[in-house]
Amino acid sequence: MSETFEPKIIAFVCTYCTYAGADLAGTSRLKYAPNVRIIRLPCTGRISPMFILKALQKGADGILISGCHPGDCHFTHGNYHARRRWMVFRSLLDFMGISPERVKFSWISAAEGGKFADLINNVTEDIRKLGPFDQYKELIMETEAPATL
Amino acid sequence: MITQEKYRSKAKKLLADGSVKMVIGYSPGSTADRRRPLFVRSFEEADQLVLDSNCIANLSGYLVTEGLLSDEKRVAIFLRPEGIRSLNILAAESQLNVDQIIIFGFDSIGREVSSLSGEHAGEFSELISSIKENPPEKSSEPLLYQIEQMNPQERFAFWKEEFSRCIKCYACRQSCPMCYCRRCIVDSNQPQWVNTSSHTLGNFEWNIVRAFHLAGRCVGCGNCDRSCPVNIPLRLINARMAAEVLESFDHFAGMSTTQEPVLASFKKEDSETFIL
Amino acid sequence: MTRILFSDKLDNCVTRWQSAGFSVIGPVTKDTFSSYAAVEHASDFDLGIVLPDRSLKELFFPQTEPMLRYTIKQQAINTEDFTPPSGKRLIFGVRPCDAAGLSIDDPLFGWDYKDEYWFQRRNDSVIVTIACTKSDDFCLCTSLKLAPDTTNGSDILLRPLENNKGWQVEELTDRGREAFLTIAEFLQEGSEPAAPMAVVPEMFDLDTCVAWLQNPENFESKFWKDISMRCIGCGSCTYLCPTCHCFDIQDEGDTYSGIRRKNWDSCSFALFTMHTSGHNPRSTQSARWRQRIMHKFNYFPGKFSVNSCSGCGRCSRQCPVDMGITETLQKISTLHS
């Protein structure tokens, strides 16, 4: 393969901090990798693990989840709840063989446009190094294939 | 035998004086080592109750049968320590009023069955604390250790192989006392989060979702594992999750009827080393 | 003198069948779990088990099967059919109850609509059944008026020899004869006696049960509530059953493209009869268990003149709460109709 692999990354972000941070990155004319599709949600507390599974089911190679720093949540503690949930879900994915390298978490405030751009670049590079999530894609392919027996 | 007689006569007494409307226990099954759930409603039926080391199933799931407790009458039930823990969780999650439950507690070592002292959920907290403090040896589950030593690709391949057998009969869900949702997430189709088809992808998704919903709630009674008709080692996933919440949040499922559910609570100082 | 297939020739036969274009399938045990699966060599077969954990039906009616792919572009809707895989299969070491299960479902799948997924596989498959010389506590073929050497649904019946060194060959259909023609050189004439059949005690009187079920007064009997009180409503019994055949059609995908699949469904599930309005005509587990029993021993024979049960006993064997057809019919047979 001569072409470099371009990973598909889905980012679930909260509207009050990380989405505003992404906005700032844009209005500051910062350049970052175009591999990320951003999905805006009201709060990290709204980010259900179902979203992560759905993204994988639809062929994502990596997933980024990001919201307000602890203490900054618009709803006071949505991100604290989310943090516990991720801790557990991350370990579950790890145990099932879905490498935690593919599912990343971060805190990015509305003022951190620079951090957002850097993070997207880093995450994209990390996932590029890991390569496409072939093991999961095999399962997806199987669902589209005719019966074998 | 002594324990069985003791509980039989206790069941008779409670049924006779009307202090309970039903005793949920075990009766002989279709083979010598099988036991089946039994619902005793009269004095005479109590003689069918058996109690021995083959009484393994956690019966607490029957307590949330629709309409069973809605008349506010009391029900007695045979429970092992794990059963008592799952009863605590059901109470903590507001699924039942624990005052309606009389516990016939028992445990077994080898073939020897002993009764547990106490009959209300609150009276077993010392016992449960001691289980928390003395977890089973890691060597008791060699397969869990083996899986933990694998790299992600190997682990994925291991579970892919296991889940390829899953037929989505949902025996794991139905036998689990914690799976009391009126409508399970796989049965909801707007939106359809996970595939309902029983191809390996759909099976993977289903088992991940169920394990996550049980994280911090599973007491390790083994109902799912035993009921799986295709022998998927489901207990391992739940055991791993239980270990995770214990390490990270010092949460041991089913300590008391007022314990906060681990994923519906938080501490400001929770670990966040994985967050960039 | 009968024709005999000696076990030491079985591997030659497997190779010969494979080179004649058959994929060879048989009972296989992996770890602690057994099912009918494709094999390469005769040594892969596990012919010592009473019967595989999973039934034969899934080779004809898989748990999930793609039917068509759809794509929608603006106004144009395109569909592309998935056809069932074709190719000859020889299924060796089938249990008589599993084979009989196929013959029970044949009229169902060919009744008003001929199910091509089922019949393509049926026509492509040679069923080589081995009569049972052992049984376990859950076997109940004799109670269903079948036997450990029932030939329903089989193309060949093999009777194990008393000396355990092979099988007497009984050719039952042309399809079976043709498949055994390819291995004719490995068969021998012999007079070795066949081993005695497994003794499967009769657990209940079927006619008494059927009469009770047919009596409309018993539809609302308290019996149903009592017997199914402990039923947890999982689908193990239906999914392992060699004759249960209910399915659901699911579209997987989104508005623009996706795949329509045929998936197993089970009358044990509350969702099976749930209406869009939320009303459920079978709202209790006892109504669902009654449906399963009534369907097998009353409605199905009413339509197709055969009970929808071949007596494999998997429902009782695998039930997490030790229920099953045996217990239910045993109890019914003691009731007064």
From A59's Cα to the closest Cα of chain C, the distance in A is 13
Contacts of A51 (CB under 8 A, 6+ apart): A12, A39
Size of interface A-C (CB pairs under 8 A): 24
pLDDT per residue as tens digits for the range B224-267: 999 999 999 999 999 999 999 999 999 999 999 999 999 999 99
Using a CB-CB cut-off of 8 Å, the residues of chain A touching C38 are 149
Q: Is the predicted pLDDT of residue B8 greater than 70, yes or no?
A: yes
Subunit contact A85:B205, Cβ cutoff 8 A? no
Instruction: Say whether both C262 and C148 belong to one domain.
Output: no
The answer to whether residue C150 is domain-embedded is yes
C306 assigned to some structural domain? yes
Query: What does the pLDDT read at residue B139?
Result: 76
The closest CB to that of B171, out of C54, C137, C234, belongs to C234
Residues of chain C with Cβ-Cβ distance to B173 below 8 Å are 234
Question: Does B17 contact chain A (CB < 8 Å)?
Answer: no
> C170 and C302: one domain?
no
| Residue A35: strand, helix, or coil | coil
Q: Place A149 in a pLDDT band, splitting at 50, 70 and 90.
A: confident
Give the range among B223-227, C25-29, C332-336 with minimum mean pLDDT: C332-336
**Contacts with C230 from chain B: Cβ below 8 Å:** 36-39, 62
Cα distance between residue C253 and residue C259, in whole Å = 6
- Tell me what pLDDT residue C207 has: 94
Q: What average pLDDT does this structure show over C205-224?
A: 94
Name all chains with 3 or more CB-CB pairs below 8 Å to chain B.
A, C
- Hey, are the CB atoms on A80 and B262 less than 8 Å from each other? no
- Contact list in A for residue C59 (CB cut-off 8 A) is 149
Distance from CA of C254 to the nearest CA of B (A): 10
Asked which of C190, C220, C246 is the last residue of a domain, the reply is: C190
pLDDT reported for residue A2: 56
One domain for residues C107 and C210: no
Residues C40 and C80 in one domain: yes
Q: What is the pLDDT of residues C264-296, one digit of tens each?
A: 999 999 999 999 998 999 999 999 999 999 999
Query: Quick one: closest CA in C to B225, which residue?
Result: C320
With tokens 């619902």, the residue in question is B39
Q: How much of chain C exceeds pLDDT 90, in percent?
A: 94
Q: Any CB–CB contact under 8 A between B185 and chain A?
A: yes
Distance from CA of C80 to the nearest CA of A (A): 12
Please indicate, yes or no, whether residues C47 and C184 belong to a single structural domain of this protein. Answer: yes
Q: Per-residue confidence at C337, pLDDT binned at 50, 70, 90?
A: low
Residue ranges of alpha helices (H) inside C20-58 are none
Q: Which residue from B36, B174, B202 is facing C233, i.e. has the nearest CB?
A: B174
> C305 with C174, same domain?
no
Q: What is the pTM of this model?
A: 0.92
User: In chain A, what are the domains?
Assistant: 9-144 (3.40.50)
Please, what is the average pLDDT of chain A?
92
**Which residues neighbour C276 within 8 Å (Cβ) at sequence distance 6 or greater?**
none
pLDDT at A1 over 70: no
Residues of chain A in contact with residue B205, where contact means CB-CB under 8 angstroms, are 53, 57
CB A88 to CB B195 under 8 A?
no
Residue ranges of E strands in chain C? 2-6, 23-30, 33-38, 64-73, 76-81, 89-94, 125-130, 156-160, 166-171, 187-190, 247-253, 257-264
Given a cut of 70, whether residue C140 has pLDDT beyond it is yes
Same domain, C179 and C296: no
Please report, for chain B, the start and end positions of each structural domain, with discontinuous segments joined by +: 2-133, 138-264
Residue C215 lies inside a defined structural domain of this protein: yes
Q: Which of B38, B39, B169 sits opposite C234 (nearest CB)?
A: B169
Chain B residue with Cα closest to C271 = B187
Count chain B–chain C contacts defined by CB atoms under 8 A: 89
Query: Per the domain annotation, does C201 fall within a domain?
Result: no
Domain residues for C36? 2-190
For residues B77 and B23, the answer to whether their CB atoms sit within 8 Å is yes
Contacts of C252 in chain A (CB under 8 A): 143
Calculate ∠ Cα C276-C280-C286, nearest 5°.
155
Same domain, C168 and C223: no
Give B77→chain A minimum CA distance, Å: 32
Nearest to C85 among A143, A144, A148 (CB): A148
Residues C170 and C213 in one domain: no
What does the mean pLDDT of chain B come to? 93
Residue contact B170–C250, C-beta within 8 A = no
Q: Which chains touch A (3 or more CB pairs under 8 A)?
A: B, C
Q: Do both C180 and C213 map to the same domain?
A: no
Strand ranges, E, within C131-270: 156-160, 166-171, 187-190, 247-253, 257-264
Is it the case that residue B164 has pLDDT exceeding 80? yes
CB contact under 8 A, A50 and B194: yes
Mean pLDDT along residues B83-98? 96
| Across C42-52, average pLDDT | 95
Residue of B nearest to C232 (CA): B174
Tokens of C40: 């390469």
Instruction: Tell me whether residues C59 and A149 touch, CB distance under 8 A.
Output: yes
A-facing residues of B in 188-247 (CB < 8 A) are: 193-195, 197, 199-202, 204-205, 207-209, 211-212, 215-216, 237, 240-241, 244-245
Interaxial angle between packed helices B125-133 and B81-92, expressed in degrees from 0 to 180 and rounded to the nearest 10 = 110
Q: How far is C325 from chain B (nearest CA, A)?
A: 12
Report the number of distinct structural domains present in chain C: 2
Does A147 sit within 8 Å of C65, measured CB to CB?
Answer: yes
The A residues from 86 to 145 touching C (CB cutoff 8 Å) are: 143-145
Q: Which residues of C touch A147 (CB under 8 A)?
A: 62, 65-66, 82, 84-85
Euclidean distance between CA atoms B125 and A16, whole angstroms: 43
The residue-averaged pLDDT of B114-140 equals 89
Quick one: C160 and C293 in the same domain? no
Q: Kindly determine whether residue C65 and residue A143, on different chains, have CB atoms separated by under 8 Å.
A: no
pLDDT value of position A12 = 96
In which band, very low, low, confident or very high, does the pLDDT at C249 lie, cut at 50, 70 and 90?
Answer: very high
Mean pLDDT of B157-177: 95
Q: Is residue C136 part of a domain?
A: yes
* Closest alpha carbon within chain A to B149: A95
Is the pLDDT confidence value at B138 over 90? no
Q: How sure is the predictor about C1, in pLDDT bands with cuts at 50, 70 and 90?
A: confident
Residue B131 in tokens: 């289980």
User: What is the torsional sign of CA B147, B148, B149, B151?
Assistant: positive
Q: Which of C194, A106, C156, C19 is nearest to B272 (CA)?
A: A106
**Cβ-based contacts of A148 with chain C (< 8 Å):** 85
Same domain, C13 and C51: yes
The C-alpha atoms of residue B275 and residue A107 are separated, in whole angstroms, by 7
Q: Contact C259/A144, CB-based, under 8 Å?
A: yes
- Lowest mean pLDDT across A62-71, B144-153, B183-192, C49-58: B183-192
Amino acid letter for position A85? R
Residue B79 has a pLDDT of 96
